Amino acid sequence: MNRLAHIIWHRLTGLMPGELDANEVLWLISPHQQSPLLARRRAMVVVNRVRLFAFLFAVLTPLWSIVDYVVFPFPLWFFLAGMRLVAAGAFAALVICYKPSGNLLNAYRAMALLFAIPTVFYVVSHQVLTSFDLTGMSAAIGAGYAFLPFVLLAGLAIFPLTFLENLAFIAPMLLSQVLAQILSWGQLNWPSFAGAFWLMALIAGVANLAGMSQLAFMVALVRQAIRDPLTGVHSRRSAEEILELYGSVANRAETPLSVAFIDLDNFKSINDRYGHDEGDRALRRASKAINESLRSGDILTRWGGEEFLLIMPNTRLPDAQAALERLTGQGLGRRPDGTLLTASVGIAERIHDKASQWEQLIEIADRRMYLAKQSGRNRIVVHDLAADAPQD
């Protein structure tokens, strides 16, 4: 049974573009536990697309009044033109007020507003149009208003969203379609309503798949951009982005943020004695050993060469020190001669070290790491005085 489930899962994930691993496939279902850098990039893309859409709607919505003017009786045109102006104003406000901040909640809000404006427009215009007895060309144009929900649902396809995020947007749109029909209960034509609703559900399904497929490509691209190719841990560039993100969150929420510089000891001798390839393998073993002892939420990055930077959000200095003692106590893998690979570590914490900028925090941790080296290596330094005892 387990094997069957494994085969099915394997086949399904094989359908996904971008060669996602099992964890990443789950990221297509729900935003929960997505990497903060992916969430940040997604939030930027979503807000930028909301603004593009809103700009197009702000221009096109009032322009359509010209067509309405030709085909509709004056009172109906007047009412619809007023609504179009209000909607265009709301779209323009979205373009002006929303800037991509990298915050996913902010991006959801922008999307909800983008979709709420035409949804309200649709529900109200549907009411008004059904109260007029339209014939000929005006009836044909009036019927065109009923396509708005279809356009909205199809528009979801341009956003890189997870399955559940898409559902959260699709459900209210389908519900408002039902609501619009119920409000005009008298004229309800059940077969045509059921047909239209079925078509909407199909479009929603296709848009959901399109959004997830965009997200899959984005996950693969972000992974390539943020990972160090040798060890697979975060690269220095992404470390700086993470520090920027976590630093500002910690400053705002007044929460602790610890960073640890982990510099492998006497690494040059591995290269010199056993060759560069053996050195690479030792680096991979070290990053694996550190990764395995991390708590979820801690982020390991390769700062350069044989130097790693561990970012520990919401962690006070004594807790960070205890975590690093546990880690270095086990050794960071083995050297080719079988002895333990050790490291010199410098730790700094935002509140304890009064560092409001992440650059200061890095500087302090780096200085302490050099103190650890000077004091004989294989030790952890958490203050600006030389350490006196090795780890083992």
Q: Which is nearer to ligand GTP, 99 or 273 (CB)?
A: 273
What tokens were used for 309?
């930077």
* Buried b / exposed e along 11-42 (16+ C-beta atoms within 10 A): eeeeebeeebeeebbebbeebeebbbbbbbbb
Under the binding rule (CB under 6 A), the answer on residue 306 touching ligand GTP is yes
Under the binding rule (CB under 6 A), the answer on residue 271 touching ligand GTP is yes
* Secondary element (H or E) of residue 308: strand 307-313
| Interface with ligand GTP (CB under 6 A), residue from 280, 294, 319, 360 | 280
Distance, CA of 347 to CA of 288 (rounded, Å): 20
Under the binding rule (CB under 6 A), the answer on residue 228 touching ligand GTP is no
Q: Which stretch binds ligand GTP (CB under 6 A): 100-108, 155-163, 254-262, 267-275?
A: 267-275
Distance, CA of 386 to CA of 338 (rounded, Å): 29
* Secondary element (H or E) of residue 303: strand 299-304
Q: Which stretch binds ligand GTP (CB under 6 A): 32-40, 57-65, 86-94, 274-282?
A: 274-282
User: Which strands form 380-381's sheet, in the order they lie side by side?
Assistant: 299-304, 307-313, 257-264, 343-349, 380-381
Q: How far is the CB of 276 from ligand GTP (least distance, A)?
A: 4
Site for ligand GTP in 346-385 (CB under 6 A): 373, 377
* CB neighbour list of residue 37: distance below 8 Å, 6 or more residues apart: 222, 226, 238, 241, 242, 245
Q: How far is the CB of 345 from ligand GTP (least distance, A)?
A: 12
* Secondary element (H or E) of residue 74: helix 74-97
Cβ of 298: how many Cβ atoms within 10 Å? 19
Q: How far is the CB of 216 from ligand GTP (least distance, A)?
A: 30
| Interface with ligand GTP (CB under 6 A), residue from 268, 326, 385, 386 | 268
Q: How far is the CB of 309 from ligand GTP (least distance, A)?
A: 14
| Interface with ligand GTP (CB under 6 A), residue from 77, 246, 267, 308 | 267
Under the binding rule (CB under 6 A), the answer on residue 261 touching ligand GTP is no
Q: How far is the CB of 162 from ligand GTP (least distance, A)?
A: 35
Under the binding rule (CB under 6 A), the answer on residue 232 touching ligand GTP is no
Query: What DSSP character marks residue 342?
Result: -
| Interface with ligand GTP (CB under 6 A), residue from 156, 242, 243, 264 | 264
Distance, CA of 302 to CA of 231 (rounded, Å): 8
Binding residues for ligand GTP, total number by CB under 6 A: 16
| Interface with ligand GTP (CB under 6 A), residue from 68, 241, 265, 349 | 265
Residues that bind ligand GTP (CB under 6 A): 230, 263-268, 271, 276, 279-280, 283, 305-306, 373, 377
